[in-house]
């Protein structure tokens, strides 16, 4: 049994561990090793400590944990960051440890996050995914439509990202319930 709750400052290190481990395993075939190595536990602890200590722009962060309070995944997001698209909300990050993937837990995290976003008065939402990441199918299966593709720099490399979006997150929430 897993539970989802709001992330707190004390979760920063555990979230950072999930972030680094999941990021490196997810992107090992998609990103050059030298660019992968730029994400360290230390910089992610600092990032998550700052995010959770003083969330900016109404950022929402949720964790999924086991019965014994071991964090196995997280999702975070808030206002759409670029203001270039007709979406008011954005998923900034969603990660699950490898051994917990493909068990429906990502959908549970997405559902809890979407509900929190609806409660925070967001109407629409997008998420950016590396274009060749098979996880992009996860969003399509949940009704997202491709919005845009653009280049992003990670470390020294340049990679293509694709945005997927839901014009009405109430529709997404209905699909997930």
User: What is the count of structural domains for the chain?
Assistant: 1
Walk along the chain (177 residues) and give the pLDDT tens digit of each residue.
899 999 999 999 999 999 999 888 888 888 888 878 778 889 899 999 999 998 777 799 999 999 999 999 999 999 999 888 899 999 999 999 989 988 989 999 999 999 999 999 999 999 999 998 888 899 999 999 999 999 988 888 898 999 999 999 999 988 888
| CA distance to 57, 115, 146, per residue, from 141 (Å) | 29, 18, 12
* Measured distance CA(175)–CA(107) in Å, rounded: 10
Instruction: Please report, for the domain that includes residue 93, its CATH number.
Output: 3.40.630.30
Question: Residue 157's pLDDT is what?
Answer: 83
**Ramachandran sector of residue 57 (left: φ over 0; alpha: ψ -120 to 50; beta: rest):** left
| Model confidence, pTM | 0.93
Bridge partners (DSSP) of residue 63 are 5, 74
Q: ∠127-76-103 over CA atoms, to 5°?
A: 80
Domain encompassing residue 30: 2-176
């Amino acid at each position: 049994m897993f539970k989802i709750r709001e992330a707190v400052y004390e979760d920063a290190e555990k979230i950072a561990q999930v972030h680094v481990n999941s990021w490196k395993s997810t992107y090992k075939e998609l990103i050059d090793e030298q660019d992968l190595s730029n994400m360290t536990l230390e910089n992610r602890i600092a990032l998550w400590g700052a995010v959770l200590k003083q969330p900016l722009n109404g950022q929402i962060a949720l964790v999924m944990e086991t019965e014994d309070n071991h964090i196995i995944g997280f999702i975070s997001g808030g206002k759409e960051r670029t203001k270039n698209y007709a979406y008011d909300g954005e998923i900034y990050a969603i990660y699950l440890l490898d051994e917990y993937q493909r068990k429906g837990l990502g959908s549970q995290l997405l559902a809890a996050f979407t509900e929190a976003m609806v409660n925070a008065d967001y109407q629409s939402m997008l998420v950016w995914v590396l274009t060749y990441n098979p996880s992009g199918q996860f969003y399509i299966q949940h009704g997202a439509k491709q919005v845009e593709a653009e280049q992003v720099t990670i470390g020294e490399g340049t990679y293509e990202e694709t945005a997927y979006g839901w014009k009405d997150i109430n529709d997404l929430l209905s699909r997930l319930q």
